[in-house]
Amino acid sequence: MSTTSTATGGDGPVPPPRTSASGAAADSPTFDGTAPAPPVLVGPAADAGGDVAWPAGVPVAEPTAPVVADVEPGRVRWDPAERRARASQSFWTALVGVPAIFSVLRLGVEAGGELQTTLLLVANVGPVNLLAGFLTTAARLLSAGLVAVFALGAVLAVSADRLPPGSRRRPLFARWADITPAWVVLASFLLALITWPLLYLPLLLPAFVAAFQLRPGRLHDRVVPRLLLIGALLAGYGWLMLPTLRAAVQQGDESLVLALIVVPPLLALFIAGPLPGMVIRPLASVTEVAVLATLVWAAVPVISTPVLPLTVTTVGPESGPTEDVRGHVVTTDDVNMVILQEKGGVRYVPVGLVRAQVLCPSEEELPRHQLRIHDFHVEDSLLEGMGRRVRPVHRIDAACRTPA
């Protein structure tokens, strides 16, 4: 029996030729003398009774299909190296492809669904700008997705051996967490750390503990120093957050903020699994659907976030009446300034008529909470907060107040 499974494992359903050779050779030591042969031939050779010398005309690809059909579905064992190679391939494909596709979709939305306007944008917005613009708005969504997958995956993976007997596959996120190199996980957490609003950063704590399985036991072998260490860590966190908590209590009606600040560090103490066998399967399926749904739901605002900065351009002849055009400047040449108006439509303004232009904030940037953590606004990310320290004064130009 073992020979068959090794054999099928060696040949695999659709093996990419690059990496499989060495893996297959290493995996099939039972086949004396067959190892040097091309791996595709191993399966049929075993079926045919171990005859090694094949005539030259034997078809190569044909017999693989029945072999795969014989194999119990879901039992296909991939060679780990090969699997990793494919995973990394799909990872990089997704990393480049998803932003590219999203960026192009965003252009269509930005253009108000008009084909000609979309083409105008495509012609004038460079791919690098587009990608950079996308990353600045989507980084927090992207990192949130990755963090959720890795944290859940690690918890599910450590609980997987408790699965009720008869379960065949490990949960999807667990497999993803298995094959992802630690540096990718770490990078996702770092990206989240600098792009998430400060208010949501405490959630990163249990997620990090879960993803790297940092049980309290790892802190110290003995119980008392362990408790002291935990106490010290929590006290440090409390010192950081206490003024904010006090302000939140004073403002009232900020129960979510209170929960978001207080609860996650406590959860971090218990989150590192393993989970009871009976909840693994439902948790895995529910979270898979939930993460997917959340990503789709959160992707809508990302798609509809403008690609180009919002400006107000004052247009009018010298010493004559002026008009404010609110919109996004697509391009400027010697003759015209092309403005995609906020209310829709493209406006070609002769360059000679442009009197002034100012950059304006959009209403989505208005804060929802009036709280700060040591003078960093809770809705700023660390990056934004640091940026505000570099350029502290932000004056809203009068023209931005005028209606569109």
Partner 1 sequence: MNSGSSSSRLRSIASTLAVALTLVLAAAAGCDSREEPALPSVQEKMRETHIYGQSKLRIGVATNEPLMGELRNGQHVGFDVEIARYIAASLGYEGDQRLEFVSVATEDRIPSLQGGTVDLVVSSFSITEDRKKLVSFAGPYFVTTQEVMVPVRLKDKVRTIEDLRDPAYKVCTSGGSTTEAELEKHQVRTFVVKDVGDCVDGIRKGRYDAVSSDESILAGFLASFPKEFEIVDMPFGTSELLGIGVPIGDPALRDLVAYFLQKSYEQGRDGDASPWQTAYNRTLGPWLKAEKRQPQPLEVPKLVDFDDKAPAK
Q: Which two tokens stand for residue 303?
A: 């798609």
Residue closer to partner 1 (CB basis): 190 or 290: 290
Q: Is 152 in contact with 210 (CB distance < 8 Å)? A: yes
In the list 40, 271, 308, 338, the residue contacting partner 1 (rule: CB under 8 A) is: 271
Residue closer to partner 1 (CB basis): 157 or 210: 210
Site residues for partner 1, 235-254, by CB under 8 A, read: 253
Residue closer to partner 1 (CB basis): 109 or 275: 275
* Sole residue written with tokens 């909470």: 369
Site residues for partner 1, 131-170, by CB under 8 A, read: 148, 152, 155, 159
Cα–chain center distance at 244: 29
Cα separation, 157 vs 275, in Å, equals 10
The reply to whether 371 sits near partner 1 by the rule CB under 8 A is no
Site string for partner 1, 320-349 (x = CB under 8 A): -xx---------------------------
The reply to whether 318 sits near partner 1 by the rule CB under 8 A is no
Other C-beta atoms closer than 10 Å to the C-beta of 274 total 15
Q: Is 306 in contact with 297 (CB distance < 8 Å)? A: no
Q: How far is the CB of 240 from partner 1 (least distance, A)?
A: 17
Residues 6+ apart with CB under 8 A from 135: 99
In the list 16, 231, 309, 361, the residue contacting partner 1 (rule: CB under 8 A) is: 361
Using DSSP, state whether 198 is helix, strand or coil.
helix
Q: Distance of CA 110 to CAs 125, 306, 359, 384, Å?
A: 12, 6, 18, 24
Site residues for partner 1, 283-312, by CB under 8 A, read: 283, 287, 290, 294, 298, 301
Look up residue 26 and give its amino acid.
Answer: A
* Sole residue written with tokens 């959009």: 362
Q: Is 236 in contact with 298 (CB distance < 8 Å)? A: no
In the list 267, 310, 382, 383, the residue contacting partner 1 (rule: CB under 8 A) is: 267
Q: Which residues bind partner 1 (CB under 8 A)?
A: 148, 152, 155, 159, 197, 199-200, 203, 206-207, 210, 253, 256, 259-260, 263-264, 267-276, 279, 283, 287, 290, 294, 298, 301, 321-322, 361, 363, 365-368, 370, 372, 375-377, 379-380, 384, 388-389, 392-396, 398-403
